[in-house]
Amino acid sequence: MPTARTRVVRESDRAVYDRETVYRILDEGFLCHVGFSVDGQPFVIPTSYGRKDASLYIHGSAASRMLRQMKEGVAVCVTVTLLDGLVLARSVFNHSMNYRSVVILGTATLVEDPQEELTALRVLSEHILPGRWNDARQPNERELKATSVLRVPIEEFSAKVRTGPPIDDAEDYSFPTWAGVIPLDMLAGTPINDPQLDSARAIPKYVREYSRKR
């Protein structure tokens, strides 16, 4: 159930609070924005993430400002947004977008167990590009020491979803202009070989057929 902090107030008919929908949105996206405050100054940092069950993992350099602050259990707001289309109404005021978004509130804590940290890094890798973890060199001890992984519980959250055509004022439906939706999708292009790649090395299937649709 939504909390007082996560209950959607504006356009509440677009609110979604069930985990299945939230997980689908999180699993399709791979970029989140993490908001936190340091000495009264708000920061919002974009970063990749991965999900395992009811935990969201983010990672970065152990020296980064975000990671240094969050090691101490700083309150965070994590947002993920998928843009599905531009909605063109007959009036400029009623233009909109079709989208799916998630807001998670919680406390980010440092993953200190070495095994969980390695598992979390694998979750992050497989979330972005399934199949890559086993096909690439694993992190070494030096790299692990330079990296911090944080866990954010997916407990206090809400989603907001808009779909469908434009909604115009009744008097505007006769206005002589085009109205409708321009669908937007993230498409992977043709893979480009590293110039130093062995020319005999074939492009793996998980790269050739990469897609963000889940």
Average pLDDT for 9-38: 90
* CA–CA dist 14, 96 (Å, integer): 13
Phi/psi region, residue 73 (left: phi>0; alpha: psi -120 to 50; beta: rest), is left
Residue 96, strand partner residues: 87
Architecture of the domain whose range is 12-208: Roll (2.30)
The pLDDT value given to residue 198: 94
Q: What is the mean pLDDT of the chain?
A: 91
CA proximity to 57, closest of 19, 111, 20: 111
- Compute the chain's Rg from CA coordinates: 21
Contacts of 65 (CB under 8 A, 6+ apart): 38, 43
Q: What is the CB neighbour count within 10 angstroms for residue 192?
A: 8
Q: Out of 65-69, 176-180, 198-202, give the one with best mean pLDDT.
A: 176-180
113-166, pLDDT tens digit by residue?
999 999 999 999 999 999 999 999 999 999 888 888 999 999 999 999 999 999
Average pLDDT of span 17-43: 92
Report whether pLDDT(208) > 80. yes
Q: Using CA atoms, how far apart are residues 25 and 18, in angstroms rounded to an integer?
A: 11
pTM above 0.85, yes or no: yes
**pLDDT, tens digit (0-9, with 9 covering 90-100), for 53-101:** 999 999 877 667 666 666 667 889 999 999 999 999 999 999 999 999 9
pLDDT score at 191: 95
The beta-strand segments (E) located in the chain are: 15-16, 31-38, 41-52, 55-61, 75-88, 96-107, 109-110, 147-153, 156-162, 180-183
